[in-house]
């Protein structure tokens, strides 16, 4: 195959050369840092992904050397390839920031405020986006979408209300399991991950849908409500697995393995797909050869926790009444009675030690 010519592209005033056919998003990722637009649906390892969520919109202020006219509208950087001499604005464009704020507001229209009870909290891309681009209140006055519950078996929990319809899990099931068993049914605000997801569940690699889901719509039932990710210590480990590479990240507390995930790169993408046996059934440290602590970005809430020391009975000073000039909340929910996950005789907030899996009821749906 002949070598691709190199195109010069300038993104946020930084010029690099990339092979023709590279998307703006991947060119920006080569520069790295803030210059790389956020991506909620694009996934470099999944063919056909991208073009769904619009979080990666950028402004093309110069089309190319040959045709320097700017593009009239913002474009999805994951689906637009670079041209020679192209100039792109991401964080340096007010239009982009404004549009991204709008996209985040749209994504949150139907997304429930589940973060306090959602297992994805702390590693949720939508949560990160909301911190950077979200509004402090909502303008949406209507009822959010509701769905019939689907039981996906003992390993995977589907919360359709949290789904942002990025299609990543559909591509994962399609491309890893070799047969398309689930998809997105209906369109508009009726669109949902199809019931036929149940049919792909017998595949050894289907657990990877949990890792690709950018929000908490697909989570690991064997880890559900057991701990918060920022209290766990991620360790790189491997085992001799006949099915997959066996290279994983263990999420430990002391000697207890709370969950097993694939290793993820700096863009939050899986490095090597792992099998269900490694992910769900090898929960003893003895099953693994520990390589050492996983390097976590220092900006991540997981790095902030530093595993120990931050756990304890510090009552927050910023109570509802304190920040609302003495006004009492209209409704107070006891999260323990609502979520019903801990053993009834145990009040989690009264424990003078970290909570362990034995404090929770087994196999919560």
Please report, as ranges, the residues that interact with ligand FES according to CB under 6 A.
Answer: 39-42, 50-56, 76, 78
Binding partner of residue 355 among ligand FES, ligand SF4, none, CB under 5 to 8 Å per kind? none
Binding partner of residue 76 among ligand FES, ligand SF4, none, CB under 5 to 8 Å per kind? ligand FES
Give the list of residues 6+ apart from residue 79 with CB closer than 8 angstroms, or none. 23, 50, 51
Burial of residue 340 (CB within 10 Å: 0-12, 13-18, 19+) is exposed
Specify the residue for token string 């000073």. 317
Structure tokens at 307: 């595993």
* Interface pattern 189-218 for ligand SF4 (x via CB under 6 A): ----x------------------xxxx-xx
Binding flag, residue 118, ligand SF4 (CB under 6 A): no
How far apart (Å, rounded) are the C-alpha atoms in residues 130 and 215? 12
Binding partner of residue 122 among ligand SF4, ligand FES, none, CB under 5 to 8 Å per kind? none
Give the list of residues 6+ apart from residue 59 with CB closer than 8 angstroms, or none. 70, 71, 74, 88, 89, 90, 93, 95, 96
**Which of positions 218-237 make contact with ligand SF4 (CB under 6 A)?**
218
Binding flag, residue 54, ligand SF4 (CB under 6 A): no
State in angstroms the smallest separation of the CB of 44 from ligand FES. 11
Binding partner of residue 50 among ligand SF4, ligand FES, none, CB under 5 to 8 Å per kind? ligand FES
Structure tokens at 238: 């491997």
How far apart (Å, rounded) are the C-alpha atoms in residues 171 and 189? 21
* Interface pattern 135-174 for ligand SF4 (x via CB under 6 A): ----------------------------xxxxxxx-----
Strand 6-11 with 86-89, pairing:
parallel
Structure tokens at 283: 């929960």
How far apart (Å, rounded) are the C-alpha atoms in residues 247 and 250? 10
Binding flag, residue 60, ligand SF4 (CB under 6 A): no
Beta bridge partners of 270: 264
How far apart (Å, rounded) are the C-alpha atoms in residues 203 and 177? 6
State in angstroms the smallest separation of the CB of 88 from ligand FES. 14
Nearer to ligand FES, 53 or 118 (CB): 53
State in angstroms the smallest separation of the CB of 163 from ligand SF4. 3
3-state secondary structure of 277: helix
Nearer to ligand FES, 127 or 249 (CB): 127
Binding site for ligand SF4 (CB under 6 A): 163-169, 193, 212-215, 217-218
């Amino acid at each position: 195959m002949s070598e691709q010519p190199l195109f010069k592209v300038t993104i946020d005033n930084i010029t690099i050369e990339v092979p023709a056919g590279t998307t703006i998003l991947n060119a920006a990722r080569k520069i790295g840092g803030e210059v790389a637009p956020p991506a909620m649906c694009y996934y470099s390892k999944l063919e056909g992904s991208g073009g769904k969520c619009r979080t990666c919109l950028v402004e093309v202020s110069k089309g190319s050397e040959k045709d320097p006219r700017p593009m009239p509208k913002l474009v999805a950087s994951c689906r637009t390839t670079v041209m020679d001499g192209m100039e792109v604005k991401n964080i340096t464009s007010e239009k982009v920031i404004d549009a991204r704020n709008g996209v985040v507001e749209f994504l949150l229209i139907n997304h429930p405020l589940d973060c306090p009870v959602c297992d994805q909290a702390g590693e949720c891309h939508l949560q990160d986006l909301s911190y950077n681009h979200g509004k402090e209140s909502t303008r949406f006055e209507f009822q959010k979408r509701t769905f019939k519950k689907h039981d996906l078996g003992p390993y995977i929990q589907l919360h359709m209300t949290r789904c942002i319809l990025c299609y990543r899990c559909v591509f994962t099931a399609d491309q890893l399991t070799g047969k398309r068993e689930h998809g997105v049914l209906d369109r508009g605000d009726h669109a949902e991950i199809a019931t036929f997801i149940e049919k792909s569940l017998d595949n050894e690699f289907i657990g990877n849908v949990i890792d690709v889901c950018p929000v908490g719509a697909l989570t690991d039932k064997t880890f559900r409500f057991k701990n918060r990710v920022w209290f766990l210590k991620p360790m790189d480990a491997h085992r001799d697995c006949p099915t997959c590479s066996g290279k994983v990240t263990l999420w430990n507390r002391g000697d207890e393995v709370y969950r097993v995930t694939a290793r993820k790169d700096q863009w939050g993408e899986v490095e090597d797909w792992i099998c269900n046996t490694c992910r769900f059934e090898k929960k003893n440290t003895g099953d693994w050869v520990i390589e050492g602590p996983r390097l976590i970005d220092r900006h991540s809430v997981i790095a902030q926790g530093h595993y120990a020391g931050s756990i304890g009975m510090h009552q927050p000073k910023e109570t509802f009444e304190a920040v609302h000039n003495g006004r009492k909340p209209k409704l107070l929910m006891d999260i323990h009675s609502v979520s019903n996950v801990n053993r009834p005789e145990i009040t989690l907030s009264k424990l003078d030690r970290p909570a362990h899996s034995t404090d929770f009821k087994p196999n919560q749906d």
